[in-house]
A and B are shown apart, each in its own frame.
Chain A
Amino acid sequence: MTTTTQPASAFQKPIAFARDFCMYTVKGGKVFYSWMLFLSFFAIVGLVTTYIQMTTGLIVTGATDQIVWELFVASFIHCPSIASAAVLVVTPAYIYKRKDMKQLAVIGEAIAMVFVIIGLNFIFFHMGRPDRFWHAIPVLGIFNFPSSVLTYDIIVLNVYLVLNAVAVFYYLYKHYVGQPLNTKFYTPLIWFAVAWGPFIHIITAFILSSNAQIAVWHTALMPFSFLAMAAAAGPALVIVTLLVIRKFTKLEVADSAIDFFSQVIIWGVGVLILMFAVEFFTELYPATHHAAPLEYAINGHNGLNPYGPWFWSIMTIFVVQFILLCIKKVRKSYNFLLPLICVSVFLSVLIEKPAVLIFPAFSPTALGEYAVYHPTLIEIFNVLFVWATGFILLTLVLKGVVGVLTGEVRDSQVVEEGGAK
């Protein structure tokens, strides 16, 4: 922060930036350290459970040939939801040119970047042979493009990761050295990233809906309901983040920005409820075999009803959240109700994935079997491991971002010049 090294080469400044950025991110107050310790606990326990899974195989998870996706995929699907949220932060800032959002755009991009990484981590845990990931790298292995939907997802996620990483660190570096942004480079990049954002979620939805065999996923509504979930869960996390930043750092976040995001959540949750209603009608009225997984999720099958309580409580929570958010007083309750509802939106969209979308969809199987998914302890700890490491990364990155934005991480030359002014 107070280094006085003189730039000697072209790499001097980037190195100084990296050093200052990292140094700043790891220092903090009591709350920061408690939060990090809390997360590290799961990260360290997760190391052991990860080792067990990597050496024993996916048999330590609850997945079977009947229900082939575990909590990892169910959690993975949530990540593009959040990552798409960057679009909702960047669009008002750069396309609608809202002044109050200008600085926040980079926070949205940082969240997107970290959540793509978390998503990729989940995929790593999902793979039966993570040691063979190189088989899917285009030149080293065989990339079954354009046949396999998974290859599209590999492309969109990695491109989105790179776009956001470049956008974030370019912006921060320029801010750090006090230079203006090269808009000829930065603006197209941002626009491209905005256009790209929805793809990561659309393609992820295609991974599900491309399986004609799983009738309840085989619907064109899937990408749209995913985008609605993105519009609900993404801004929810952004609001919580902004409220935390506003409370604990010097960065100023205008109420208008937060109000904007709570409006987006209303739309997101509202459209999502509509999508659910439309989907349920279309499936349940004809009640063909396409509706069988949904009927199983809602009412169970011949008395076997493991998902019904989840289904009904999640649907109720969605509706309650929607109603509450429509009340202006609630939206303005920045210190209590709004963050509470935002966390609830985030979690309900997260839990909806395994409990409503994924696990019931596998029953009946292609040969008509009904099964119940039983997550194992090791699996749960591995999921927590990925979330914990992800949130550690998110905290560090956002802390650095805020440091740069507030000027606490600043090139020493710029500091001196600024002081002279």
Chain B
Amino acid sequence: MISARKHMRAAVFVSLFFVAISGLVLQNMPNEAVAQEDAAQEESGAVVQENSADASQEEPGAEQEAISDAGQEESGAEEQEAPADAAPTTSDAEVECYESRKDATRLTKKDNVNPKYGYPNVKCSPTTKAVLWYGDPYDDTEPIGDTPSFGDYTDGDFAQAVIRPRTKHLKTIIQNGGMQCSGCHPGADPATQKNDPRELMMHQDIVSDALVLEHGRGAIWCFDCHNAANRDTLVNHRGDEVSFNESYKLCGSCHGSTYSEWRMGLHGKRTGEWRVGGKKRWWTCTECHNPHTVEEHRFDPVKPEPPPALPRGMSEDDYKGAGNHGGH
């Protein structure tokens, strides 16, 4: 038998070890207090970002639509780079987010449009200000209108189809209250009569070089689509006036197969209800494609959302080293 004294000594020794190890372990255990602080910081960070966007909105030019504002690109870039650590203010004004195309399709975030859940109409990405999520999929939409029957099986869908009207966003800020395009371009310009593009004096943000229009491979120019007689509308090749809301009618006159696919729901985007015949918002051509640069990019390049975290324990270098060739 082991002697009692030896036994005691061993016990003391072991328990000392134990205390040391448990101290070590406690040190390594996740610090929940820190995690909470971080969560709190995240919260305030979100507020800050909303406010910074808000601040940029107060600048002239931020509210207007790209199509009528030469300074838009600058203000847009500023908004994108708005510092996240700007001084927080208490104002809770609305945030403006963009949908598919930056500077072209915008929605203003409104809080609590669905009071049952305290939803906003949209949720926007804190990093890119892109609309990620619709609390109200039909916000700012109206029925698609008198789109002629196409003689196909999408007829039933039309009854419930809605679009976001474009016309009311075609405003300038030159005068208070805003004007549509015709405010500056009243009546027909003689220069528009012949197919003779010249360099633009304004709107270079929309068309950087009117002599080389990135659409139609040199076969078309501005007034093949824009209505010279009434700048608030578009015009098709037959000379029929087409509303900016119904750009698809114009686009479809050249891109017929794409148009019919769009009518079937194959091409383009629809949101709302998934059922056939359900209420859907049909996204029109120019909500995704930029007609002035479509030859260069099918879609305008956008800033991606941040990547996921690397696998635990993998550093950036490890990962680059591993190359991570996959595709198996």
Q: Which residues of A contact B (CB under 8 A)?
A: 29-30, 33-34, 37, 40-41, 44-45, 48-49, 52, 56, 59-60, 62, 64, 66-67, 289, 292, 301-304, 364-365, 367-374, 376-378, 381
A-contact bits for B14-52, CB 8 A (1 contact / 0 none):
100110011011001110000000000000000000000
Q: Are A378 and B29 interface neighbours, CB within 8 A?
A: yes
Q: Which residue of B lies closest to A381 (CB)?
A: B25
Cα-based distance from A292 to B327 in the complex (angstroms): 12
Q: Are A40 and B14 interface neighbours, CB within 8 A?
A: yes
Cα-based distance from A289 to B6 in the complex (angstroms): 60
Q: Which residues of B contact A (CB under 8 A)?
A: 1-2, 6-7, 10-11, 14, 17-18, 21-22, 24-25, 28-30, 311-314, 318, 321-328
The 5 A-B residue pairs whose C-beta atoms are closest, nearest first, are A368-B326, A304-B322, A289-B328, A374-B313, A371-B311
Cα-based distance from A402 to B318 in the complex (angstroms): 54
Q: Are A301 and B326 interface neighbours, CB within 8 A?
A: no
Cα-based distance from A378 to B26 in the complex (angstroms): 10
Q: Are A364 and B24 interface neighbours, CB within 8 A?
A: no
Q: Are B22 and A48 interface neighbours, CB within 8 A?
A: yes
A364-B25 contact given A44-B18, A56-B30, A66-B311, CB 8 Å threshold: no
**Given A62-B312, A302-B322, A378-B29: 8 more A-B contacts, CB < 8 Å:** A29-B1, A60-B29, A289-B328, A301-B325, A304-B322, A370-B324, A371-B314, A378-B25
Q: Can you list 20 A-B pairs, Cβ within 8 angstroms, ordered by A?
A: A30-B6, A33-B7, A34-B2, A41-B17, A41-B18, A48-B25, A52-B25, A60-B29, A67-B311, A301-B323, A303-B322, A304-B318, A304-B322, A364-B326, A368-B324, A368-B325, A368-B328, A371-B312, A373-B313, A377-B28
- Contacting residues, chain B, for A37 (C-beta < 8 A): 10-11, 14
Q: Which residue of A lies closest to B10 (CB)?
A: A37
Cα-based distance from A374 to B326 in the complex (angstroms): 22
Cα-based distance from A371 to B314 in the complex (angstroms): 7
Cα-based distance from A60 to B11 in the complex (angstroms): 29
Nearest-CB distance from A287 to chain B (Å)? 12
Nearest-CB distance from A291 to chain B (Å)? 10
- Contacting residues, chain A, for B318 (C-beta < 8 A): 304, 372
Nearest-CB distance from B5 to chain A (Å)? 13
Nearest-CB distance from A27 to chain B (Å)? 8
Q: Are B328 and A304 interface neighbours, CB within 8 A?
A: no
Cα-based distance from A141 to B119 in the complex (angstroms): 38
Cα-based distance from A372 to B310 in the complex (angstroms): 11
Cα-based distance from A278 to B253 in the complex (angstroms): 66
A34, A49, A60, A370: the one contacting B322 at CB < 8 Å is A370
